[in-house]
């Protein structure tokens, strides 16, 4: 999943990066947007932006995946801002469908608890969880995407996980 496709300058094999990251990017964006169709639009937009800017990728500034997720994050945040301007209603409409089409087969107390705990997190914490557990980024890549240090990311991730664990126990 973490296949590196950058060589010297620019993303030399964009298709490989796409294949390894498509579902991860979608999962992350869907968590941010909480709207399946908006997530699809933003995901497509992110890949198109990345494709057009692929020559500007600098390997020294992070992995191609971190670069791609930075673009996806900006696209998602821009869309959220745009929606907040045009839609004054709350920006977090519940979209259970985004959580997976096969809910019926795997429903259980544990999963419901996890889902509820996830919803109880702050948006920034939920983003962190999405990048880590849905997109599969390493802590170094997380730091690159979020513009902070790896240590800070670890601390925040640890805090979010404990909140999740506590929320799960409370639900259980």
Partner 1 sequence: MRLRRDPDPDPTTARELESLDAALEGRSVDPRDEDLAELAVALRAERPEPRPEFALDLDLRVREGFGTAARSAPAARSARKAAARPWRLALPAAALAFIVATGAVTSGVFDSGGDPSSPQPPLALDEPPVQREAQEGAGDSAAAPATSPPLPAPPRVAPGARERRQERAATLTLAAPRDRIEETADEAIRVTDRHGGFVLSSSVSSGDDSEAGAALDLRVPSERLQRALADLSELAHVRARTQDTRDITAAFTSPRRRLADALAERRALLRQLARADTPNETAVIRARLRAANRRIDRAQAELRRLRERVAFSAVAVTIEPGSASAGTDGNDGSGGGWTLGDALDDALGVLRALAGATLVALAVLVPAGLLAAAAWPAYRLWLRRRRERALEM
Q: What DSSP designation does 89 have?
A: S
- Are 28 and 135 contacting, i.e. CB atoms less than 8 angstroms apart? yes
- For partner 1, the closer CB: 6 or 131: 131
- For partner 1, the closer CB: 66 or 98: 98
Interaction between residue 4 and partner 1 (CB under 8 A) = no
Interaction between residue 32 and partner 1 (CB under 8 A) = yes
Interaction between residue 67 and partner 1 (CB under 8 A) = no
- Are 4 and 64 contacting, i.e. CB atoms less than 8 angstroms apart? yes
- Are 65 and 44 contacting, i.e. CB atoms less than 8 angstroms apart? no
Handedness of CA 143, 60, 7, 78 (dihedral sign): positive
Q: Cα-Cα-Cα-Cα dihedral of 99, 29, 6, 133, to 10°?
A: -40
- Are 144 and 64 contacting, i.e. CB atoms less than 8 angstroms apart? no
Interaction between residue 93 and partner 1 (CB under 8 A) = no
**Residues of the shown chain interacting with partner 1 in the complex, contacts defined by CB under 8 A:** 14-15, 18, 22-23, 26-27, 30-32, 36, 39-40, 43-44, 47-48, 51-52, 74, 77-78, 80-81, 84, 91, 98-101, 106, 110-111, 114-115, 118, 123-124, 127, 129, 132-134, 136, 138-139, 143, 147-149, 151-152, 154-155, 157-158, 161, 164-165, 168
């Amino acid at each position: 999943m973490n296949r590196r496709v950058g060589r010297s300058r620019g993303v030399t094999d964009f298709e490989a990066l796409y294949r390894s990251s498509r579902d991860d990017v979608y999962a992350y964006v869907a968590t941010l947007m909480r709207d399946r169709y908006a997530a699809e639009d933003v995901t497509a937009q992110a890949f198109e932006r990345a494709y057009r800017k692929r020559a500007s990728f600098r390997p020294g500034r992070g992995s191609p995946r971190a670069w791609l997720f930075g673009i996806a994050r900006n696209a998602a945040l821009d869309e959220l801002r745009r929606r907040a301007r045009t839609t004054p209603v709350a920006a977090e409409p519940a979209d259970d469908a985004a959580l997976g089409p096969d809910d019926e087969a795997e429903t259980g107390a544990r999963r419901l608890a996890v889902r509820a705990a996830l919803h109880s997190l702050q948006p920034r914490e939920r983003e962190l969880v999405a990048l880590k557990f849905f997109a599969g980024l390493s802590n170094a890549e997380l730091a690159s995407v979020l513009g902070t240090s790896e240590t800070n990311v670890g601390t925040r991730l640890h805090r979010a996980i404990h909140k999740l664990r506590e929320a799960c126990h409370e639900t259980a």
